[in-house]
Chains A and B, each alone.
Chain A
Amino acid sequence: MNVPAFALLCLAGLLVGCGVYLLLERSLSRIFIGLGLLTHGVNVLLLASGGRGGRPPLLGMEDPASMGDPLPQAMMLTSIVLSLGTTAFGLALAYRSWWITGHDEVVDDVEDRLVSRRAEKNANLFDESATGEEDEGINYDEEGKQ
């Protein structure tokens, strides 16, 4: 049975936990540092999903039986490069926020709340049922004759 070391899983858990702790902050630079930790944690988890570590997956140099699982590695490679891009984007956001407001904190989106409040108010507009009886006087077929 090829299961990963428990130590690796613990590390993944710890990194994810630390990442989440920072992720729930309001300062954008902290959020993206947290995202960096979270990415490391998920990468470790991905690697752990490949089971026990092994020799590098290089044909001709190593015995295929002793190699580590190459598939998680390929996925992690994608993840590592993309995390660089995400971090850069987040920092650019932080910079932009600082440029406009003087700090890099994410404030609450008031519009978001207003939208849902309005939705509740407008619910009254859609709650009619039609029985055909409320409009006896209307001729539905000839608009010209009204």
Chain B
Amino acid sequence: MFALVVAHMCAALVAPWLVDRMGRRALRVLAVLPAVCVILALALAPRVIAGTAPEESLVWIPGLDVTLWMRMDLLSWLMTLIVGGVGLLVLVYASSYFTDTSSGLRRFAATFTAFAGAMFGVAVSDDVIGLYTFWEATAVLSFLLIGHHYERRPARTGARQALLLTSSGALALFVGFVVLTTTPGGTPRISGLVHAAATGELDTSSPQVILGAALVVIGALSKSALLPFHFWLPGAMTAPTPVSAYLHAAAMVKAGVYLVARLTPGFTDVPGFSPIIVTVGLVTMLIGATRALRQHDLKLVLAYGTVSQLGLITATIAIGSASAMASGLVMLLSHSLFKSSLFLTVGAVEQSTGSRDLRKLTGVGRQKPVLAAGAALAAASMAGLPVTSGYLGKEALLSALIDGSGAAWIGGGHNGTTPTDLLIGLVVLTGSTLTAAYAWRFWWGAFGRRHLKATEESDKKGDITRPDSRIQGELTACAPTPFPMLLVIWVLASGALLGLLPTYLEHVIGLHGAGQLPGHAHLAWWSGWLPALLTALIFLAAALLAAHATWVEDIQRKVGLRVTLADLYAWSIHEIEIGAARLTRFVQRGSLPWDLSIILLTLCGGAAAVLLMDPPSRLVLRWADSPPQVLLVLLISIAAFFTVRSRRRMRAALLLGAVGLGVCLLWVVQGAPDLAITQLVVEAVGFVVFVLVLRRLPPLFSDRPLQRSRWWRLFMAVVSALGTVCAGLYASSARIHTPVSALMANEAWSFGHGKNIVNVILVDIRAWDTVGELSVLLVIATGVASLVHITGRRQTPTRQRQRGTVLAAATQKASLGEERTWTSVTSVVTRFLFPTMIVISVWLLLVGHNAPGGGFVGGVVAGLAFVLRYIEGGRAALADAMPAPAGQILGTGLFIAGLGALLPLVNGNTVLESTAIDWHFGGYGDIHFTTAMILDVGVYVLVIGVVLDLISTLGSELDLQGAREERA
């Protein structure tokens, strides 16, 4: 069964290619797949009927215990036959219906085949995840099929509406499945769930089960177009006729009915399950049938008729007794056959006459007797004329209700008929009358010979009165219908003849739910005088209705509600769109401070909400560790305060540097030497970068804030500060487990072969982080270079001089470039310091694995050496000192890091796993290193590249641009 689903999907993939090669005949080739479904079902028939359902399983996600199960019991077998049989016939029909040049034929072939596969999956899946997956697949594929003529607006609207309604229902279904599965006694297997509910293992009266069942039912109702979701089905009539015949008669809309039939044997005991579905189904039946009586579009007559029939079938099945279940399944089978046959008839009529408006058709039956006869057979089954299969189902239901259905919720048992039974029977009687009436309306509308004048008067718009060239001598002109189309219609219509085999049907179909549901199945032509009388009554009333069809239409037009559910849907969609647009307008105003405020408020609000909902039980408070710590905290706070206060750019940058130094000392006090030295050199480079850029900008911050925005910022600052303190306090108090890092001391040595745990974390335990960080650095460096090197598009050339700091003065001088002197103290110091710093950086890199140091700090120190050269001698000196362009160094760094990451593979380890390598040189000693070292070298080189890039861009390039400007 899995193989068959996969085969469908593969066929869908090659379908476009097939269509390219063979044109529309490719559809006949693709019809092989549904045919295989039928053959499979027939081959398994003896085992299915014997009651041993064949099963298959496939482990999908072992970590989540998700296993796909497929199982073919009687219900699945019946569905497979319908889905496969109708699919096969519709594909054959479509191969004549479409032309080789029809638009989107490739897409149609692929999506239709895939849909058939997904539908087969729905029919045989026996676990909730599999069923849900295929269920969603049918929704998406039906969206594509309904929107086949996507260049037309109604098709788009109809497809979107169907997708929205059925997939929101599917989400409810999913949640419902999850709830049912996780309830005590629940299982992910559907057959298991039903069994558990039937035997009482699953407590059917528990709120969880009721909730889960309700959600599942919502999913089923939306799929089968029952109230209040029914309007998507008529809207989906924009699909090509073969699609309507398959999806909207036989396959997709039956999925919901199938699910109800699947669950009813166990879940009818769930409070509300049966009564609610029966009520909804019966109301849907009445509304659908009434609406069908006022449609002029033949396809819409069928669509509303389908809504009505689906309501009846769902209600019948959900009653929850063996006799009702059997009659419901007979209706399911016969409806699939006659309704798809009738849809295909509409397609044939439309193809030959160019219209499907029953006000424009007359005398088609006279010209096409074979088509009309086939349609008559199907319509007879729809109307429930005796000895057709449609009659058999209806008859069985009526006689079951007359004798008392025996369902537990009706208060049946063996008490005989109850008032509820009779009430249901009365409603079904009314519905059947309406059904027979619209069956006649359909058939006579399509094939009858009428005076078009009579209908013209009833049309208030009056657009029919204009002469239609197609109507000649009161006969609509017809083109011939291809033989395969007629054949398919006839084969499907002859499904009505299944009504001739009541005993066999009873034997097979009665198997579903037998033993679990009260009562027993009974199907027969003759169940006594009373049912026969009722049938006669139905046709009498229907004849009356048909005779006064115009009157019925008028009444409906006058009485009909002004606001329909479809309008309600449109209104809510409109409001959602508007609401979303307004929310976006409110949240994203295009102002950076506003956007940031929203983000920060959301962050603080979210954290506060979590704290309020689940407040920690205890709060541990320790004021401070040591006097130096307190002193540093005070100093840093003062520096930060003045950073905020300063109005001069350069002063703010200096104070930020002071904060950085304070933080750096704090790391020392806290016992983090690696951090301290890294922070120190990073602060140095950062400060240089600030000076290099700020020397070009105005000395004062330009923005003098308004009073109001300042108060707002102050408010935001206080909120974020409090948020940070609270989060830190509560998070650390909430800790109940030992930190994961407690193990790292051991691991660092045994796996990472290093003594500096921080460094081992960087290059081994969390090495992927480091690799990611390297890429970010590379991107940043490139970004900086791109921002500065692209010049032009300048509007207001202004020049600003920066005064005040020694460093700025030095760079100013340096920017003059060429006249370098060797006399200043700076240059002498630099001569000494440059090589020393390079050596120190290499040393830091090498010892990093076992002592404070590492690639990052080493790289920044080396970068600082180059910064020194630049400060001393300007861009010429930097160019002298640079071994290669910054871009090349960056790339090399990343390359080396990648090499270090992949090298462990040689030794049979995984990527980035530290591998120790020892070389022995006899008396000369041993060399011991790990592959993580190579990653660290990559880091080192790349960081040098970043610093060089920053200096050469923000230093040298800015110098050049400044010099150019001065010349201009």
Residue numbers of A with Cβ under 8 A of B are 1-18, 20-27, 29-31, 33, 36-37, 40-41, 43-45, 47-61, 64, 67-71, 73-78, 80-89, 91-96, 98-106, 108-113, 116-117, 119-120, 123-124, 126-145
Select one of B573, B670, B705, B731 contacting A47, CB under 8 A: B670
Q: Does B522 contact A (CB under 8 A)?
A: no
Give 20 A-B pairs besides A89-B787, A92-B788, A130-B236 with Cβ atoms closer than 8 angstroms. Answer: A15-B659, A16-B724, A24-B712, A27-B702, A33-B643, A45-B728, A53-B625, A57-B671, A59-B756, A74-B765, A85-B780, A91-B690, A103-B702, A109-B591, A112-B590, A128-B153, A128-B570, A130-B235, A134-B154, A138-B154
B793 touches A131 (CB 8 A): no
Cα separation A96 to B697 with both chains bound (whole Å):
10
Select one of A49, A91, A120, A143 contacting B582, CB under 8 A: A120
B592 touches A26 (CB 8 A): yes
Given contacts A89-B784, A112-B588, A132-B235, contact A77 B758 (CB under 8 A): yes
Cα separation A82 to B939 with both chains bound (whole Å):
13
Contacts of A37 in B (CB 8 A): 640, 643-644, 656, 659
Q: Does B61 contact A (CB under 8 A)?
A: no
B716 touches A70 (CB 8 A): no
Q: Does B630 contact A (CB under 8 A)?
A: yes
Smallest beta-carbon distance A67→chain B, Å:
7
Smallest beta-carbon distance A82→chain B, Å:
6
A88 touches B103 (CB 8 A): no
Q: Does B577 contact A (CB under 8 A)?
A: yes
Smallest beta-carbon distance B704→chain A, Å:
10
Q: Does B239 contact A (CB under 8 A)?
A: yes
Smallest beta-carbon distance A72→chain B, Å:
8
Contacts of B591 in A (CB 8 A): 108-109
Residue of A nearest to B592 (CB): A106
Contacts of B669 in A (CB 8 A): 53
Contacts of B788 in A (CB 8 A): 92, 95-96
B748 touches A59 (CB 8 A): yes
A59 touches B757 (CB 8 A): yes
The 3 closest A-B pairs by CB, nearest first: A17-B721, A130-B235, A112-B590
B630 touches A73 (CB 8 A): no
* Interface 0/1 of B751-791, CB less than 8 Å to A: 00001111001100110011001001100110110011001
Smallest beta-carbon distance B502→chain A, Å:
36
Q: Does B703 contact A (CB under 8 A)?
A: yes
B798 touches A18 (CB 8 A): no
Cα separation A25 to B304 with both chains bound (whole Å):
62
Smallest beta-carbon distance B614→chain A, Å:
19
Cα separation A61 to B636 with both chains bound (whole Å):
30
The B191-245 residues at the A interface (CB cut-off 8 A) are 231-232, 234-241
The residue among B152, B239, B741 with the most chain A CB atoms within 10 A of its own CB is B741
Cα separation A1 to B600 with both chains bound (whole Å):
31
B703 touches A105 (CB 8 A): yes
Cα separation A67 to B490 with both chains bound (whole Å):
86
B659 touches A112 (CB 8 A): no
B300 touches A132 (CB 8 A): yes
Smallest beta-carbon distance B677→chain A, Å:
10
Contacts of B630 in A (CB 8 A): 7
Contacts of A133 in B (CB 8 A): 234, 295, 297, 300
Contacts of A17 in B (CB 8 A): 717-718, 720-721, 724
Q: Does B299 contact A (CB under 8 A)?
A: yes
Q: Does B574 contact A (CB under 8 A)?
A: yes
Select one of B103, B624, B640, B787 contacting A15, CB under 8 A: B640
Q: Which of B177-185, B351-359, B803-811 contacts A (4 or more CB under 8 A)?
A: B351-359
Cα separation A107 to B791 with both chains bound (whole Å):
21
Smallest beta-carbon distance A134→chain B, Å:
6
A99 touches B644 (CB 8 A): no
Contacts of B780 in A (CB 8 A): 85-86, 88-89
Q: Does B622 contact A (CB under 8 A)?
A: yes
B796 touches A13 (CB 8 A): no
Q: Does B450 contact A (CB under 8 A)?
A: no
Select one of A24, A89, A104, A127 contacting B783, CB under 8 A: A89
The residue among B571, B590, B709 with the most chain A CB atoms within 10 A of its own CB is B590
Q: Which of B155-163, B441-449, B901-909 contacts A (4 or more CB under 8 A)?
A: B155-163
B678 touches A80 (CB 8 A): yes
Smallest beta-carbon distance A102→chain B, Å:
4
Smallest beta-carbon distance B721→chain A, Å:
3
B241 touches A141 (CB 8 A): yes
Secondary structure at the B interface, as helix, strand, loop or mixed, is helix
Q: Does B347 contact A (CB under 8 A)?
A: yes
The residue among A52, A75, A92, A96 with the most chain B CB atoms within 10 A of its own CB is A92
B716 touches A21 (CB 8 A): yes
Q: Which of B512-520, B822-830, B946-954 contacts A (4 or more CB under 8 A)?
A: B946-954
Select one of A5, A49, A74 contacting B623, CB under 8 A: A5
Select one of B155, B355, B674, B787 contacting A92, CB under 8 A: B787
Smallest beta-carbon distance A56→chain B, Å:
5
Given contacts A17-B718, A71-B744, contact A91 B589 (CB under 8 A): no
Contacts of B600 in A (CB 8 A): 20
Q: Does B365 contact A (CB under 8 A)?
A: no
A40 touches B732 (CB 8 A): no
B97 touches A141 (CB 8 A): yes
Q: List 7 A-B contacts (CB under 8 A).
A: A1-B620, A27-B703, A60-B850, A85-B776, A96-B788, A102-B795, A119-B584
A55 touches B671 (CB 8 A): yes
A136 touches B357 (CB 8 A): yes
Residue of B nearest to A85 (CB): B780
Contacts of A5 in B (CB 8 A): 622-625, 629
Smallest beta-carbon distance A112→chain B, Å:
3
Contacts of A27 in B (CB 8 A): 701-703
A130 touches B161 (CB 8 A): yes
Smallest beta-carbon distance A90→chain B, Å:
9
A102 touches B566 (CB 8 A): no
Residue of B nearest to A86 (CB): B780
Contacts of A64 in B (CB 8 A): 745
Q: Does B833 contact A (CB under 8 A)?
A: no
B581 touches A81 (CB 8 A): no
Cα separation A57 to B659 with both chains bound (whole Å):
25
Contacts of A142 in B (CB 8 A): 350-351, 354
A81 touches B722 (CB 8 A): no
Q: Does B569 contact A (CB under 8 A)?
A: yes
A36 touches B714 (CB 8 A): no
B773 touches A81 (CB 8 A): yes
Q: Which of B35-43, B123-131, B660-668 contacts A (4 or more CB under 8 A)?
A: B660-668
Contacts of B297 in A (CB 8 A): 132-133, 136
Select one of B580, B588, B640, B954 contacting A14, CB under 8 A: B640
Smallest beta-carbon distance B266→chain A, Å:
36
* Interface 0/1 of B624-647, CB less than 8 Å to A: 110001100100110011011000
Smallest beta-carbon distance A50→chain B, Å:
8
B682 touches A81 (CB 8 A): yes
Q: Does B327 contact A (CB under 8 A)?
A: no
Q: Does B725 contact A (CB under 8 A)?
A: yes
Contacts of A80 in B (CB 8 A): 675, 678-679, 682
A58 touches B756 (CB 8 A): yes
Residue of B nearest to A98 (CB): B697
